[in-house]
Amino acid sequence: FEDLVDEARLTALTLLDRAGELTSPTLRLGVTGLSRSGKTVFTTALIHALMRGGRLPVFRAMHEGRIAGAHLEPQPDDGVPRFDYEGHLAALVDERRWPESTKRISELRLVVDYAPQRGGRRSLTLDIVDYPGEWLLDLPLLDQSYAQFAANSLNLARAPALRPLAGPFLAALGLAAPSAPADETEARRLASLFTDYLAACRAETVSMSLLPPGRFLMPGDLEGSPALTFAPLDLSEGIEAPADSLHAMMERRFESYKERVVRPFFRDHFARLDRQIVLIDVLSALNAGPAALADLEAALDGILAAFRVGRNSWLSALFRHRIGKVLFAATKADHLHHTSHDPLEAILRRLVERALGRAEGAGAEIDVVALAAVRATREAMVKRGRAHLPAIVGVPEAGQHGADDFDGLAEAAVFPGDLPENPSALFDPALGFNGLSDAAGGDFRFLRFRPPVVERNAEGLALPMPHIRLDRALEFLLGDRLK
Ligand code: GDP
């Protein structure tokens, strides 16, 4: 029955979307990626580029001078927070600091006025939806019962790799009797230890290891609500939850989580997207080593699963409206010398292809790009003894770990090392990744740089911001709709 309601609701939303299209064609663009991958910076830069232009030779509509302008309009979904474009831009331009990161879903509507190649005037309404990639990992939960979820989670927590991180949670679990009367304090304690464990998997394995529920890592506005106050319990097989037991309470909350949090997100937001960009901090993974790269690949699998359609599930109804184009983007390419931009792209392409090879075909047009939405560095040749070496120059952020002599004002040069021309050096067909540092002989540890200086003109409008390959992303995501 719920499937029917979902389907009816989605149909209604889609009809509304289409009705809007009668006045002006609409494109819903999703911006996602794991925490700190660069969503806020990318979304801000994308809007700014469409409104203010800049050096964007590959973005043809702009390059050919066919974009007359772009302006913000009230967004269509009243229940979704607005993307704080003005605030994020002011942080970048006026304070020269990176904006607050994405913690929840937000939306912004931009109307682009352009001249089609065949002449005349048109406008394209672009709805940009920025949401945490962590939320996509919840898709498999929709097909799971609480008992299945609990068994899967505990199997993982007890596996050798994760067990050390799960210690406090497993200890508390050992003392909890599922059939004992439901107790809020007990539920909160277990949920909080379980959340700590999930966060530790993410942080301490220096990896992107991501385990559902996604909102436990990125709660958005739901922090502390009962739908997020549950944990897996040790259940004996085939045991029904006694009424009013801890087990029954956890089960009910897991079901609420699915019905009130996960399903509405996929139905009301994800399923309506036309295009999607997935931002990936490949460089951090390269820095952290082969295990982190392997984890990143697993996370990509999880994300790609959300773009796949299961033919026989209620999801197929939701996903009838397909995402037509997906762009995977390696962010923060300004930490590398330009000779390494293509290799970075090649590494990402390899990662995505391996993940796609395991998927049954995502059904969407897919491309990859290495970019910096906002370029914080410039390149220079720096003298080292007798040699002149290509370097990256920028203003490191003050107070960085292990670098106490940065004041946040003076420039510094780093030698970023080269990525291997051929990503095969990083992959072993049987084993996955080789030790990267051996293969590449480089050290990709990088500093965090402050954003570049961006002036405002006499009218107080920020001038275009420097970037790397943002125009390629724009062309792939929007080019065909501005022809
Ligand atoms: P989100 O969590 O996905 O929204 O990530 P943000 O957009 O907030 O980016 C996280 C951090 O990555 C920022 O605070 C910056 O330090 C860095 N970052 C993001 N994009 C860029 C970029 O284009 N260039 C550089 N140098 N750093 C970036």
Tens-digit pLDDT profile for residues 20-37: 666 679 999 999 998 899
pLDDT of residue 253: 97
Confidence of residue 404 (pLDDT cuts 50, 70, 90): low
More confident site: 450 or 441? 450
Per-residue confidence (pLDDT) for residue 235, from 0 to 100:
92
Q: Tokens standing for 348?
A: 């990402």
Is residue 367 predicted with pLDDT exceeding 90?
Answer: yes
Reference 374, options 286, 430, 445, 450; nearest CA is 450
Asked whether 335 and 277 are in contact (CB, 8 A), the reply is no
Q: Which residues pair with 126 in a beta bridge?
A: 27, 110
Q: What single letter denotes the amino acid at residue 267? A: R
Q: Ligand 1 centre and the CA of 419: distance in Å?
A: 21
Dist CA 473 CA 328 (whole Å): 9
Residue 448 Cβ < 6 Å to ligand 1: yes
- Evaluate if residue 204 carries a pLDDT over 90: no
Write down the pLDDT at residue 354. Answer: 78
Reduce the DSSP state of residue 260 to 3 states and report it: helix
The pLDDT value recorded for residue 441 is 38
Q: For a pLDDT cut of 90, what percent of the chain falls above it?
A: 57
User: What are the respective helix, strand and coil percentages of the chain, to the nearest 5?
Assistant: 45, 15, 35
102 lines ligand 1 (CB under 6 A): yes
- Separation between Cα atoms, residue 131 and residue 275, nearest integer Å: 14
Residue 413's pLDDT band (cuts 50, 70, 90):
confident
Give 360 Cα–ligand 1 centroid separation in angstroms.
32
> In this structure, are residues 134 and 222 in contact, taking their beta carbons and an 8 Å threshold?
no
> What is the 8-class DSSP label of residue 481?
G
H helices present in 69-162, as ranges: 85-94, 146-158
Amino acid identity, residue 1? F
Answer yes or no: is pLDDT of 207 > 60. no
Mean pLDDT value across residues 441-462? 81
Question: What was the ipTM of the complex prediction?
Answer: 0.99
Least confident of 210-224, 244-258, 434-448: 434-448
Nearest alpha-carbon partner for 69 in 113, 106, 3 = 113
Per-residue model confidence (pLDDT) at position 240: 86
Cα–Cα distance for residue pair 349/333, rounded to 1 Å: 15
Structure confidence at residue 183 (pLDDT) = 94
> If you average pLDDT over residues 51-67, what whole number do you get?
97
Rounded-to-integer distance, Cα 63 and Cα 474, Å: 12
Give the number of other CB atoms < 10 A from CB of residue 417.
17
What is the C-alpha separation between 440 and 37, in angstroms, rounded?
Answer: 23
Starting from the edge strand earliest in sequence, which strands make up the sheet with 26-33, in order? Answer: 67-73, 106-114, 122-130, 26-33, 275-280, 325-330, 365-370
Closest-lying ligand 1 atom to the alpha carbon of residue 374? 23
pLDDT at 244: 94
pLDDT above 80: residue 164: yes
Ligand 1 midpoint to CA 309 (Å): 31
412 phi, psi to nearest 5 deg = -140, 155
Structure tokens at 4: 């029917």
Query: Residue range 170-177: average pLDDT?
Result: 95
Token code pair at residue 325: 């184009």
> For the chain, what are the domain ranges?
2-131+269-374+467-482, 144-259
Q: Is the pLDDT of residue 322 over 90?
A: no
Q: Is 446 in the pocket of ligand 1 (CB under 6 A)?
A: no
- For residue 316, the model assigns a pLDDT of 61
State residue 137's pLDDT score.
85
- Answer whether 130's CB lies under 8 Å from 100's CB: no
Q: What amino acid is encoded at 121 in this protein?
A: R
**Residue from 246, 245, 219 nearest 230 by CA:** 246
Q: Which residues, in sequence order, are bridge partners of residue 365?
A: 325
Please give the class, per CATH, of domain 2-131+269-374+467-482.
alpha beta
**Residue 445 predicted with pLDDT over 60:** no
Tell me the whole-structure pTM to 2 decimals. 0.90
Atom of ligand 1 nearest to the CA of 376: 26
335: which 2 tokens? Answer: 């930490």
Which residues is 327 bridged to in the sheet?
Answer: 277, 367
Using the mean position of ligand 1's atoms as its centre, give its distance from the Cα of residue 351 in Å: 21
Q: What's the mean pLDDT when you consider all of the chain? A: 86
State residue 398's pLDDT score: 84
Which residue, judged by its Cα, is nearest atom 6 of ligand 1? 38
- Between β-strands 122-130 and 106-114, what pairing exists: parallel, antiparallel or unpaired? antiparallel
pLDDT at 428: 55
DSSP conformation class of 204: H
Mutate to test the pocket of ligand 1, among 332, 377, 472 (most ligand atoms within 8 A of CB): 332
In the chain the first and final C-alpha atoms are separated, in Å, by 43
Q: What is the pLDDT of residues 88-133, one digit of tens each?
A: 999 999 999 999 999 999 999 999 999 999 999 999 999 999 999 9
* Closest approach atom of ligand 1 to CA 41: 7
Choose one of 46, 92, 98 to mutate for the ligand 1 pocket test, by most ligand atoms within 8 angstroms of C-beta: 98
Least confident of 71-75, 208-212, 291-295, 326-330: 208-212
Q: How far is CA 460 from the centre of its chain?
A: 32
Q: What pLDDT, on the 0 to 100 scale, is given for residue 248?
A: 96
Cis before 213 (ω within 30): yes
pLDDT of res. 385: 86
Q: Is there a contact between 393 and 413 (Cβ–Cβ < 8 Å)?
A: yes
Token pair of 73, please? 């309009």
Least confident span in 15-29, 83-97, 210-224: 15-29
Res 401: pLDDT: 55
Q: Is 99 helix (H, G, I), strand (E, B) or coil?
A: coil
Mean pLDDT confidence for 402-422? 76
More confident residue, 465 or 401: 465
